[in-house]
Structure 1
Amino acid sequence: MNVETWFKSKRWTPLPFQENCWDSYDKFDNCLLNAPTGSGKTYAVFWAWLSSHLSNQNKISNDKGFRLIWISPLRALSHEIELSIQQVLTDLELPYKVMCRTGDSSSAERRKILTDSPQILVTTPESLHLMLSNKNSRSLFNKLECIVADEWHELMGSKRGTMTELAFAKLKDIRPNIKCWGISATIGNLGEALEVLAGNNKAKKNIIIQSDIKRETEIISVYPDEAEAYPSAGHSGIKLSQKVIDLIHQHKTTLIFTNTRAQAEIWYQELLNRDKKLIGLIALHHGSLSREERNWVEEALHNEKLKAVVCTSSLDLGVDFRPVDNVIQTGGPKGIARFLQRAGRSRHQPYQKGKIYFVPSNSLELIEAAALRSAISEMKIENRNVVIEPYDVLMQFLVTLGLSEAFKAEEVYKIVTSAYAFKNLDFETFREIIFYLEKGGKVLNEYDEYKKLERTAENTYAIKDKRVAMRHRMQIGVITENSHIKIRFLKGGYLGSVEENFISQLKAGDIFRFSGRSLEFVKIKNMEAFVRNAGNKKGVVPRWAGGRMPLSSQLADFISFKLENYNKGEITDPEITFLKPILERQKKISAIPCKSSFLMEYCKTREGFHLFAYPFEGRMVHESIALLLAWRISLKKAISFSVAVNDYGLEILSDLDFYEILESSTDLFSSSDLTENMQKSINAAEIARRKFRSVATICGWLFKGYPGKSKATKHLQSSASLLFNVFHDYDPENLMLKQAYREAFDIQIEEDRLRQALFRIENIPNKIVKIKKPGPFAFPIMVDRLRESLSSEKLEDRIEKMRVSFEKN
């Protein structure tokens, strides 16, 4: 049975881009496939390899050994790909095996993959590196024909992408003629994405295959009963839960996306509390739940046993749940690509119009729905920035290679620089990293635990210490969240894991919500928290690190564009029409903020003197602008500030009047001397110190501990801080220290975006408006500041009092 016959047996017609993949496989070395979600990308690439493979076989045999390796960024997606490939193998009655190896795989499953290797392996970057550390890695991969990076856009912009690049470089060293394919649905910089995928080899033939399918996306906003005069972030989202329930009952199967795991827990419980009919028909899915629980939800979705699933990004990539005919996004997604990816889960088939409901967390977020509609219609998708020269990932990779076989520095340097991320790495810097691994560097040379590579008589490097090998394999990867504690019932059932910081604040008898249940904390033992069911008692919801995503610059531009149009009287979106009372109130109090002019509002309240400003650059950039502005004002007057930000604007607050400084100064938003000013205004050393913990963990200088005996987060922080201080004082040119500072400025502060924002503010009209009271755009920023210091109940009371006061005035 060939590909055409197989498609015909499924009553499908191959699409032009799929046929293009099949025709191009033998003609090109590297390919990036770009096609909409739900259009059949998996079968396009799998059949491209399979057709070529079968045509080159004299006879079909079940010889062991990887022929195709498929890299996936998500566990749920890995399982989905395995099922899709298995279906083809079963239909064709091929004696090939497909297996999946992820962090969820048991020890027995991992051993079987090494001893009885399947022809097709679906895995993750971390698991692939673990296999590369095997002593038999060359024989393990010596039959490999093709490697595929699925959802390449998701991997490319992170250190996991760098891991993938380095793994591909090593596999190409073992098998120089292997094909390298990437798959992506939503990415702006396709050309660069192919370059990163293909690596630094100009002799290879590369191609981008793009689908001509234009999959429409219908965006339907869910409106509050009335537009709040003073909307506050996170206030009205849950209040729309009844409307969400109505949508669930109107559709066959619904995915409800939240931006964080904590929000998923809150929404799941709220929906159950409001509608008892949903018990047994609604489920929860996020990355901190146990493998068994996640697998059950995925199977139930496939088998049409669920009406709805509340989920996070754990289900927004590639997974094909055909019964899903409806998707709901709660809260602004903060990015165009992310929203489009989630919309694609609905009616997951070619030429089917995707449908997604947008539930705002406050009324002003409806502007984002209008902005998203325009951005998607124009296909303005965010670029993914490539991570360049992350030395910590390189150090980890070199230890991985040293575990598998002895290597010569010059030979491995060629492999490393064939990866796009390290194409400009000079040999002197490479030797410095080898020096860290062999001798511990300049300041750690007295401590054996930092000496990992040993030089042999043949002038090669290898790992010989079994303790080093074991520790390294336990810690391969670049995801360095806070230490996690397993949650387990007293009688043994495992539910998932939460961060140690959260559990450490609980005492016996405290109630918290997790895995959709109310749980009573009993005790902690060997990094496991034991709990019992707490019935329907209320409790706190765990918080996980990295919960708040900044607004992308592309989406910010479209939001500003919508506000510009409103100022011109051009109202084409129903969301903007709905928001007219709020926008008119803002206009009456001050003006409509947008990017063509820079609006600042100044007022006095009982709290003190406030400055509100609206750059529309996302919360990270706003935090940097606020701190920079406060520092520059303090140079002109002895004054202290508190700051607050959201994705649209910022607030600085003082008990002293500083209006005259604002009015008379021309350099407060200057981009001159920015790096030096930022180091002084935001305490860059402290941010770099926090980043250094992650860098030191990835490169192997910090060990998290053995299973069941993990080191407490505070101990890791203490060790990282000690190392940071040592390097800062005695080895300021240390590459890992420099990387921590670089990440502080590039990732945390977003220095490039900050510089562009300040340059724009310098070159557009600036307007300071003295107002008698905060307006609708300022109000959510004030609420964000109060949220840090008040409990939920007290915050609601305070919000209501502020709202009444401002409306009365």
Structure 2
Amino acid sequence: MHHALRPIEEWFARRGWTPFPFQQEVWQAYLAGESGLIHATTGAGKTYAAWLGAVAEWLADKSSTRTTPALRVLWITPLRALVADTVEALRAPLDDLDVPWQVEARTGDTSAAVRARQRLRLPAALVTTPESLSLLLTQPEWRDLFADLRLVVVDEWHELLSTKRGVQVELALARLRGLHPHLRVWGVSATMGNLDAALDALIPVIEGQPSRARIVRGLLPKPMVIETLLPETIERFPWAGHLGLTLLPQVVATIERGKTSLVFTNTRSQAEIWYQALLEARPDWAGMLALHHGSLDRKVREWVEEALRARRLRCVVCTSSLDLGVDFSPVDQVIQIGSPKGVARLLQRAGRSGHRPGAVSRVTCAPASALELIEIAAARDAIAQERIEARQPLETPLDVLVQHLVTCALGGGFTADELLAEVRSTRAFRRLSDAEWQWALDFVVRGGASLHAYPEFHRVVKRDGRYVVANAEVARRHRINIGTIVSETTLKVQYTRGGVLGAVEESFAARLKTGDVFFFAGKALEFVQLRDTTVFVRKAERREGVTPRWMGGRMPLSTELSRAIRAWIEEARNGILRGAEMEAVRPLLEVQARWSLLPDADELLIERVQTREGHHLFVYPFEGRLAHEGMAALIAFRLSRLRPITFTMAMNDYGFELLAPEPAPLEEALGVVFDSARGAQRWSIAGADAPLFSVQRLADDILASLNATEMMKRQFREIARIAGLVYEGYPGEKSARQVQASSSLMYDVFAQYDPENRLLEQARREVLERQLEQSRLAAALARVAAGRIVVVDTPRPTPFAFPLLVDRLRESLSSEKLADRVRKMQLALEREA
């Protein structure tokens, strides 16, 4: 044991604890000057692993006086909600160890007085967010503020890794390493599949130098129980979301069994619906039941978090806003409504219960449709085999680079060669070309090719060889704009007499008429008016209303879970039904096998059926909703090139439907001559022989097949905000609609006068990758080419097809009419079955 660690070991002993080997490994590595990534289960003691090495170092430094030092530890966290908890956890050992450090927070919520004091001198340990760190780097004196920095900890790195905020962190770390070449950086991460890439993004290897970074695994054996609530009867013709509330009595009984429960939903809308349903089922739980999601006002969320810690709540209905590292040890069980859609997400949420080393984590899943039973069984199996999703780091997002250039120009200025070397030292920009760098530099200096005539886009000037910001208005605008990497177009919801409830998306608010009732923050609200960026409401007397839908809520099936589901369906085809979930779903699978087939993992099933609505093609790649959205548009486009034909489309996580008034030229598109002697019911071909599913010209065909311009304009809105082209103004200064209008205008200007603008190319790339998962789509098409395509003509829609039919109807029918229509369809199919 390193002699400096003796006080830490003694402190653990006084509390009756023994440090885990992974904690000791991190402390010793830190004291040896190393950096790394801590990969450990939730509640295993990651915070103390990352923190106490720096405390031990200070205690062992004989030259250190006992006065409070300036900033030594910078702790970056992705969520403001984690900040208060983290500050508390870091302070806990300091008094006992007689360490006179100040630990403070700095976020958008920090008071102006505290921020002003911190501009002169930072505390010994500062807990902050990526945006607040970037803001500090805009201070001309930032080098003085960070002069004594020894350690940066990036918490929940898996949450930041594949996002632009993660790239913002990479660039900030490169700045700090420029100041302190031997700065130690430790990432803290829970469940993730590609740890090497995660480590490389956090601590890039410098060419010609040995790596001083390691991965420390602290995956303590943690007992995990994953149970499923099984419906009494299984619908052989299921539809998404329908089964959910029929399990309400079983969910209520599960909540009654535990002292404190978290009920996780995948969307904010679903959270609102379940909160109302639980309250109606158990009115006596009023005051003990709470709601928590990212669109609620911060004060509301903080009240819920505090009440949960104090054990005043029986149950909280929540979204991902509570599945990060908020330390809620009192929670003894987690209920997951619907499929978790990902292996890592289920692990993360399960870990919120029994949030201490060695305690049992218990999660109960309530499927929202019969097919989700297969997802839950597959997720449990993937967890047992440790097959966790990878998070892919982003490559070269130029909008973030443009923002960073202005940040650096504000923070004392930069020389081009030095900053280029610094930027290229990050993983995100290691392949940044000279041409891209020159373009970004030109863009901040003179607005690029199309904006050079407008002085407000000349943000940076060159003086004595250094690039600086000389204009106070540019400086003010940029500092306000730094938070735009996370901002969405949302409008505040406020009572006419004052209190703020939270925020809804503009697209929802724009549809409301005076007198409309909607559920939000667990309350029935009547819409009064929309003024500037505020939705004014009052409490409603009526209890019927709509629930806001948030665009961020559509979680697609993860790649790991998709793969697992295909394997389980292949097992079912071979007569193997493992576990209670698969036994429960047996009636559905038997009808599917009888009317069509259960595909092998390397087969693509296409079903053709004719109904009164027209001619349907149902295609089942099992690749997740986003990939299917791109694939449906692609296949429809390629079919219509052979013969002019208009398709109506629907898609879910399992497949997609193409509906047309006349039969689609499927044989021609697959490159086969149809031979009636083979039997019209079923035939198959090798996927490699099917040009319809070719990867050739994939990106061009996808963009040609969609309303790509509209999608790219939407994506460009975010890029324009981050790059500082669109100024959002102080709160209330400019409406979201104006921001949208000016970014749309900017898009048109670039498209017409500056088509080579690299931000346009970035919008195209992000639409393909983020909105349509192009790389996943390409991998799916390659998988189809390597296997077989099976075409089955069925006289009626199968159990796999039924949810797709309903999803298409959902777009045009109210929920009551939809339920009636679906019931009739189900009865008709049940008679046939």
**TM-score calculated relative to the size of structure 2:** 0.94
Amino acid in the other structure paired with 1:77: L
For structure 1, which segment, 693-702 or 85-94, has the greater mean C-alpha deviation from structure 2 after superposition?
85-94
Aligned length: 807
Specify the SS of the correspondent of 2:368.
coil
For structure 1, which segment, 764-773 or 103-112, has the greater mean C-alpha deviation from structure 2 after superposition?
103-112
1:757 to 780, 785, 795: 780
Inter-partner Cα distance in structure 2 for 1:516 and 1:393: 37
Contact 2:120-2:145 within 8 A present in 1 as well: no
By how many angstroms is 1:505 displaced? 2.3
Contact 2:642-2:669 within 8 A present in 1 as well: no
Does residue 800 of structure 2 align to residue 777 of structure 1? Answer: yes
| 1:270-292 C-alpha deviation (Å, 9 max, x unpaired) | 11011112111111111111221
Equivalent residue number for residue 350 of structure 1: 357
Matches within 5 A, 1:155-234: 155-202=160-207, 203=209, 204-234=211-241
Contact 2:68-2:102 within 8 A present in 1 as well: no
Inter-partner Cα distance in structure 1 for 2:230 and 2:113: 51
Inter-partner Cα distance in structure 2 for 1:57 and 1:493: 54
Contact 1:594-1:614 within 8 A present in 2 as well: no
By how many angstroms is 1:433 displaced? 0.7
Change (3 A) 1:800 1:108: farther
Contact 2:573-2:600 within 8 A present in 1 as well: no
Matches within 5 A, 1:359-758: 359-456=366-463, 458-479=464-485, 481-535=487-541, 537-658=543-664, 661=668, 665=672, 666-713=690-737, 715-758=738-781
Inter-partner Cα distance in structure 1 for 2:616 and 2:717: 36
Contact 1:67-1:143 within 8 A present in 2 as well: yes
Inter-partner Cα distance in structure 1 for 2:212 and 2:642: 60
Amino acid in the other structure paired with 1:119: A
| 1:706-757 C-alpha deviation (Å, 9 max, x unpaired) | 21122233x3333222222222232222111111111122222222211121
By how many angstroms is 1:49 displaced? 1.6
Does residue 322 of structure 2 align to residue 299 of structure 1? Answer: no
Amino acid in the other structure paired with 1:545: M
Inter-partner Cα distance in structure 2 for 1:427 and 1:663: 44
Change (3 A) 1:618 1:50: same
Does residue 78 of structure 2 align to residue 73 of structure 1? Answer: yes
Equivalent residue number for residue 112 of structure 1: 117
1:290 to 297, 305, 326: 297
Inter-partner Cα distance in structure 1 for 2:470 and 2:241: 54
Specify the SS of the correspondent of 1:495.
strand
By how many angstroms is 1:424 displaced? 2.0
| 1:258-306 C-alpha deviation (Å, 9 max, x unpaired) | 1111111111111101111211111111111122111111111111111
For structure 1, which segment, 38-47 or 688-697, has the greater mean C-alpha deviation from structure 2 after superposition?
688-697
Contact 1:689-1:724 within 8 A present in 2 as well: yes
Amino acid in the other structure paired with 1:592: L
Change (3 A) 1:188 1:409: same
Change (3 A) 1:416 1:581: same
Contact 2:602-2:783 within 8 A present in 1 as well: no
Equivalent residue number for residue 13 of structure 1: 18
Specify the SS of the correspondent of 2:553.
coil
Equivalent residue number for residue 147 of structure 1: 152
Specify the SS of the correspondent of 1:774.
coil
| 1:356-392 C-alpha deviation (Å, 9 max, x unpaired) | 0111111110101110111000111111101011000
5+ unaligned residues in a row in structure 1: which ranges?
Answer: none
Inter-partner Cα distance in structure 2 for 1:116 and 1:511: 50
Inter-partner Cα distance in structure 2 for 1:258 and 1:723: 38
Amino acid in the other structure paired with 1:674: L
For structure 1, which segment, 715-724 or 790-799, has the greater mean C-alpha deviation from structure 2 after superposition?
715-724
- How high is the sequence identity, in percent, across the aligned residues? 44
Specify the SS of the correspondent of 2:512.
coil
Change (3 A) 1:29 1:427: farther
Inter-partner Cα distance in structure 2 for 1:149 and 1:188: 18
Inter-partner Cα distance in structure 1 for 2:634 and 2:46: 47
Inter-partner Cα distance in structure 1 for 2:660 and 2:36: 56
By how many angstroms is 1:158 displaced? 0.8
| 1:673-732 C-alpha deviation (Å, 9 max, x unpaired) | 32332232224444323221111111011112321122233x333322222222223222
Contact 1:287-1:314 within 8 A present in 2 as well: yes
| 1:496-522 C-alpha deviation (Å, 9 max, x unpaired) | 122223223223322221111111222
Inter-partner Cα distance in structure 1 for 2:622 and 2:19: 44
Inter-partner Cα distance in structure 2 for 1:514 and 1:110: 33
| 1:55-85 C-alpha deviation (Å, 9 max, x unpaired) | 1253443445211111111122222111111
For structure 1, which segment, 56-65 or 688-697, has the greater mean C-alpha deviation from structure 2 after superposition?
56-65
For structure 1, which segment, 687-696 or 59-68, has the greater mean C-alpha deviation from structure 2 after superposition?
59-68
| 1:323-362 C-alpha deviation (Å, 9 max, x unpaired) | 1110011111211111111111010112223110111111
Equivalent residue number for residue 272 of structure 2: 265
Specify the SS of the correspondent of 2:243.
coil
For structure 1, which segment, 642-651 or 754-763, has the greater mean C-alpha deviation from structure 2 after superposition?
754-763
Inter-partner Cα distance in structure 2 for 1:400 and 1:61: 35
By how many angstroms is 1:241 displaced? 1.6
Cα RMSD of the aligned pairs, angstroms, is 1.7
By how many angstroms is 1:192 displaced? 1.5
Amino acid in the other structure paired with 1:802: M
Amino acid in the other structure paired with 1:31: G
Change (3 A) 1:380 1:76: same
For structure 1, which segment, 81-90 or 374-383, has the greater mean C-alpha deviation from structure 2 after superposition?
81-90
Inter-partner Cα distance in structure 2 for 1:465 and 1:141: 25
Contact 1:616-1:648 within 8 A present in 2 as well: yes
Inter-partner Cα distance in structure 1 for 2:61 and 2:496: 57
Inter-partner Cα distance in structure 2 for 1:212 and 1:391: 37
2:142 to 137, 144, 148: 137
Amino acid in the other structure paired with 1:610: H
Does residue 820 of structure 2 align to residue 797 of structure 1? Answer: yes
Amino acid in the other structure paired with 2:268: R
Amino acid in the other structure paired with 2:752: D
5+ unaligned residues in a row in structure 2: which ranges?
Answer: 1-5, 673-689
By how many angstroms is 1:594 displaced? 4.2
Contact 1:66-1:118 within 8 A present in 2 as well: yes
Specify the SS of the correspondent of 2:172.
helix
Inter-partner Cα distance in structure 2 for 1:6 and 1:265: 45
Inter-partner Cα distance in structure 2 for 1:146 and 1:776: 56
By how many angstroms is 1:421 displaced? 0.8
By how many angstroms is 1:481 displaced? 4.9
For structure 1, which segment, 24-33 or 607-616, has the greater mean C-alpha deviation from structure 2 after superposition?
24-33
Inter-partner Cα distance in structure 2 for 1:200 and 1:726: 41
By how many angstroms is 1:532 displaced? 2.0
Contact 1:481-1:545 within 8 A present in 2 as well: no
By how many angstroms is 1:575 displaced? 0.3
By how many angstroms is 1:125 displaced? 0.4
Change (3 A) 1:7 1:480: closer
Inter-partner Cα distance in structure 1 for 2:782 and 2:481: 42
Contact 1:104-1:291 within 8 A present in 2 as well: no
**TM-score calculated relative to the size of structure 1:** 0.97
Change (3 A) 1:298 1:551: same
Inter-partner Cα distance in structure 1 for 2:498 and 2:286: 24
Inter-partner Cα distance in structure 1 for 2:461 and 2:670: 64
